[in-house]
Amino acid sequence: MNAPALRVLSVIPPMTQLNTPYPSTAYITGFLRSRGVDAVQVDLALALVLQLFTPAGLQAVQLRALAQPEAERTASVHAFLDQFQRYQHTIGPVMAFLQGRDSTLAHRIAARELLPEGPRFAALEVYVDAALGEEGGDPLAWAFGALGVQDKARHLATLYLNDLADVLRDAVDERFAFVRYAESLASSQPSFDPMAAALAAAPTLIDELLHTLTLATLARHTPDVVLLSVPFPGALYAALRIAQSIKAQNPHIAIALGGGFVNTELRELAEPRLFDFVDYVTLDAGERPLLALLEYLGRKRSKQRLVRTFVREDNEVRYINFVEPDVPFEDVGTPTWDGLPLDRYLSLLDMLNPMHRLWSDGRWNKLTVAHGCYWKKCSFCDVSLDYISRYETASAGTLADRIEAIVGETGQTGFHFVDEAAPPKALKALAQELLRRQLPISWWGNIRFEKTFTPELCQLLADSGCIAMSGGLEVASDRLLTLMKKGVSVEQVARVTKGFADAGILVHAYLMYGFPTQTVQDTVDALEYVRQLFENGCIQSGFFHRFACTVHSPVGLDPAAYGIELIPLPEVTFAKNDIGFIDPTGVDHDALGIGLRKAIYNYMHGIGLDEDVRVWFSHLPGKVPKATVGRHRIAKALNQPA
Ligand code: SF4
């Protein structure tokens, strides 16, 4: 007797990004369909936001806000209640505008008479300061010029939504944020206790909406198997709420949990209570474990032959790994966005910086050029894990075929290559193939700023549609770049980024502070380099991350080699990732981080580039030394041959 065909539903749980679907379900649905599986997908993160931000949704929020004692209401909640009628009348049109379905509303929004304004609009005053003290007039005119009505309106509408997100956080559920929900319950959480308690608590308004959405999804798709894809810790709580609703409705539906968070943090899972919600937890690239799981559920393979899968047996967690080769990157199929409401995503404009906005504005098809990282040496990176260490490529022809198929399906020609570090060789071959096929796409991606990216290659990439590149400069210090095995020098990064910029490609630099042995002087010197990179037009955007030591990175695996001592973790049965450490330098990186963030924010708006970098550390009087880097070091490096 043949086993019945199984219908598989992949779910993106709240919260992830709102401008474009997180790609994991698109990848897995495309792959499963290529193997003849009946596979569908749903984005419950977007669906939840679209439910909340309606007149009825806001009314439910208002009820919660009114139930709060007046003395406990925050400024956001007061502003919301005071202007509630205006919020209710404008929410529908604003959402349609942000979805790109009603662009003419821009004029009314930009005039600043239509939308109610809460505390988030105070950020606009920053631009008054930014415009070097010019008082009066329209501060946004400085930022957008006379022609940017659409962008100005998009920015104002984003502030309006951010105000509403603050109200949700302050009046409905303190764990709510647009891109993460209840993150602390999962992130490096050694015990499942806090998560179990939260899941046993009475549902919040958000939980109730999610429950209703989950039941509607089950009714629509009638799945036999549900895959919960959890890319970040801030999506696990909602994923388990969804699982709770599914199990209550139909306990026969098999639920599997996977995704980036699981692959990184649940590798030593020993918590049987997680299996009150899900039946299987799979590690690393999902294709092979899922094929094995579907065969098992279809009674075509025994349980002992599951691949990289945790199950619960006799109230204990058991890891089963019948070793089979992973599906090669060349054979994973083409992602599909079929079933996702592509015209309902929200193009938000948080930051006025043209590069920074790419992350929140516009619907980008997400694709990878390769699996893993070809470099896999950086000492802060999870180089021991599959998503970095297993490096595989596909031919330029295969990638171009995927691109053509995706454009055909979605009608959208924008691509974000979401590799950790796309290999230059593959990018070059792909660019040549795109030009040969005359495929007019726009694309951006993440790379290492290595010297293979010559000005000629940068120009070729630009000709093929590359509009922006991001990459890690980390700490701009040759001593620390060597210690972290980044394989680049500051001057080399300057030349490479300038090559991109000269080809018309925007450049974003990932910056780091707090790396082991980093001194205050290192931090000031690194900021001086960053200032010069902006000043010389090498980079247009950047972000400072605080270094976090993870158990999977070379630093976490061999702390003595980096001069630090790890703080022992408590017993871990659940999530394990970040680990505290003692750095004998004893630098107060938190205090320095405030100045670094202030500096980068201003540099991205073209402000303060002439100032001594110490100006950003005015909160640390007398504690920050002068930079030892010459003020024209980068300019000189750019004039030298590579
Ligand atoms: S940090 Fe980037 S370049 Fe370095 S090993 Fe990790 S993925 Fe590769």
The predicted pLDDT at position 2 comes to 52
Confidence of residue 427 (pLDDT cuts 50, 70, 90): very high
Phi first, then psi, for residue 171 (nearest 5°) are: -115, -20
Closest ligand 1 atom to the C-alpha of 377? 5
- The identity of residue 256, as a single letter, is A
Q: What is the biggest distance separating any 2 CA atoms in the chain, rounded to whole angstroms?
A: 81
Residues with CB under 6 A from ligand 1: 373, 375-378, 381, 383, 388, 420-421, 448, 472
Measured by CA distance, the residue closest to atom 7 of ligand 1 is: 420
Per-residue pLDDT at 274 exceeds 50: yes
Cα–Cα distance for residue pair 550/378, rounded to 1 Å: 13
Give the pLDDT mean for 260-287. 97
The predicted pLDDT at position 437 comes to 97
Confidence of residue 1 (pLDDT cuts 50, 70, 90): very low
Cα–Cα distance for residue pair 618/613, rounded to 1 Å: 10
Residues 591-639: tens digit of each pLDDT: 999 999 999 988 988 889 999 999 999 999 999 999 999 999 999 999 9
Cα–Cα distance for residue pair 106/125, rounded to 1 Å: 21
Strands of 51-99, DSSP E: none
Per-residue pLDDT at 475 exceeds 80: yes
Cα–Cα distance for residue pair 28/31, rounded to 1 Å: 5
Residues 357-413: tens digit of each pLDDT: 888 888 899 999 999 999 999 999 999 999 999 999 999 999 999 999 999 999 999
Confidence of residue 123 (pLDDT cuts 50, 70, 90): confident
Residues 172-212: tens digit of each pLDDT: 999 998 888 899 999 999 999 999 999 999 999 999 999 99
Confidence of residue 354 (pLDDT cuts 50, 70, 90): confident
The predicted pLDDT at position 16 comes to 87
Between 43 and 146, whose confidence is greater? 43
The predicted pLDDT at position 293 comes to 98
Contacts of 345 (CB under 8 A, 6+ apart): 18, 19, 20, 21, 46, 99, 363
Confidence of residue 347 (pLDDT cuts 50, 70, 90): very high
Cα–Cα distance for residue pair 416/583, rounded to 1 Å: 37
Whether the Cβ atoms of residue 505 and residue 469 lie closer than 8 Å to each other: yes
Instruction: Name the residue of 371, 375, 552 whose CB sits within 8 Å of the most ligand 1 atoms, as the mutation to test its pocket.
Output: 375
The predicted pLDDT at position 144 comes to 59
Cα–Cα distance for residue pair 112/97, rounded to 1 Å: 15
Cα–Cα distance for residue pair 594/12, rounded to 1 Å: 34
Give the long-range contacts of residues 564-569, CB within 8 A, separation 24 or more: 564/516, 564/517, 569/190
Q: H-helix or E-strand containing 312?
A: strand 309-313
Residues 14-56: tens digit of each pLDDT: 988 899 999 999 999 999 999 999 999 999 999 999 999 999 9
Closest ligand 1 atom to the C-alpha of 448? 3
pTM: 0.93
Q: How is residue 381 annotated by DSSP?
A: S
From the CA of 152, how far away is ligand 1's center (Å)?
36
Give the pLDDT mean for 62-69. 97
Q: For residues 62-87, b (16+ Cβ closer than 10 Å) or e, as one string?
A: bebbeeeeeeebbebbbbbbebbeeb
